[in-house]
Amino acid sequence: MASSIIFGPVNSRRFGKSLGIDLSPAKKQCNFDCLYCELTPRKTEAAQSDTIPLQKVIDALEEALLRFKDIDVITLTANGEPTLYPHLEGLVKHLQTLPQKTLILSNAAAIHRQSIQDTLLRLDMVKLSLDCATQRCFKRLDRPHKSIELPRIIEGIISFKKRFKGKLFIEILMVENINDSEGEIAALDAVLRRVKPDRIDLGSIDRPPAYDVRGLDYETLLQKARLFDPTLPVVITGKKNPPSTPYSYDEAQLLNTLQKRPLTESDTEILFDQETKVRFARLLESGRIIKKEQSGILFFTTPRRG
Ligand code: SF4
């Protein structure tokens, strides 16, 4: 049914009005079986066994675009992994004929493959998951199909970024006691400094996961974000439960915090109490705190960090 292939539109501050295409609407088809997945657990597959014909996807999309006239972005996704869709190249070529921007959300399992890279190069934005940079953590958290090796994913992401003219975003989903240790973060940090993505979305579990694992709250994620190299554009995503009492920072603490880790506008709104917001505004006006935009996100930082 057309309605199950296409979902949305959903409004996002970053991308505008987005219409989603689900390339596996009938059931989960994925080469990972992540502990935090919101879908019903299922054996991993290296290829789709249940595939929708390309024309059916295109017809469903055209129908939706007639109904919703003001779509900014078309997002390729799946109940599972969209790069498993065998007609992805044909679909992406069709999307290139449309005026909307294009985005794919992928687990990066196939990013080392030349054909997949060539297809994704045609998109405006690519968001790849990278939860772990050590094999042990990767196997434990993302539980990939046996054909998938982490070093190939990492080298694939690095080589793709070098070729890609669009925006590359990396998504890290943190799970308590699995990929949130200093060691795992240091390993991720080293890889991300090589990748140089346009943005890193650091999030945790928002909805009930398939397995019994726990996520991190906003404050803990913020502490974890500080462990990454301060030049990396890390943004905390997902549900942001504010601290029970907003924080009070004096000027020195504010400058020190922003020097270590730039904060987004929404971080400052959530974290600071009223007096800190006034101090923050004063520092901004005097130029001791500056604004910096990266991939549509406004960061606050100190001039020394450029
Ligand atoms: S990659 Fe996505 S769909 Fe596949 S198991 Fe992980 S969370 Fe679920």
pLDDT tens column, 118-164: 999 999 999 999 999 999 999 999 999 999 999 999 999 999 999 99
Separation of CA 211 and ligand 1 centre (Å): 12
**CA-nearest residue, atom 5 of ligand 1:** 33
Tokens of 264: 């987004």
Task: State the burial class of residue 84 (Cβ atoms within 10 Å of its Cβ: 0-12, 13-18, 19+).
Answer: buried
Separation of CA 69 and ligand 1 centre (Å): 31
Indicate if ligand 1 lies below 6 Å from the C-beta of 30. Answer: yes
pLDDT tens column, 47-95: 999 999 999 999 999 999 998 988 999 999 999 999 999 999 999 999 9
The pTM (predicted TM-score) of the whole model is 0.87
Contact call for residues 278 and 246 (beta carbons, < 8 A): no
Return the SS3 of 185: helix
Q: For a ligand 1 pocket test, name from 105, 107, 173 the mutation site with the most ligand atoms within 8 angstroms of its C-beta.
A: 107
Give the pLDDT score at 244.
66
Indicate if ligand 1 lies below 6 Å from the C-beta of 37. Answer: yes
Indicate if ligand 1 lies below 6 Å from the C-beta of 213. Answer: no
pLDDT band at 3 (very low <50, low <70, confident <90, very high): very low
Query: How many beta carbons lie within 10 A of that of residue 1, not counting itself?
Result: 9
Say which range, 125-134, 223-232, 239-248, 265-274, has the weakest mean pLDDT: 239-248
Separation of CA 74 and ligand 1 centre (Å): 20
Q: How far is CA 3 from CA 19, 20, 264, 279, in A?
A: 12, 11, 36, 50
**Domains and their CATH numbers in the chain:** 2-241 (3.20.20.70), 246-306 (1.10.10)
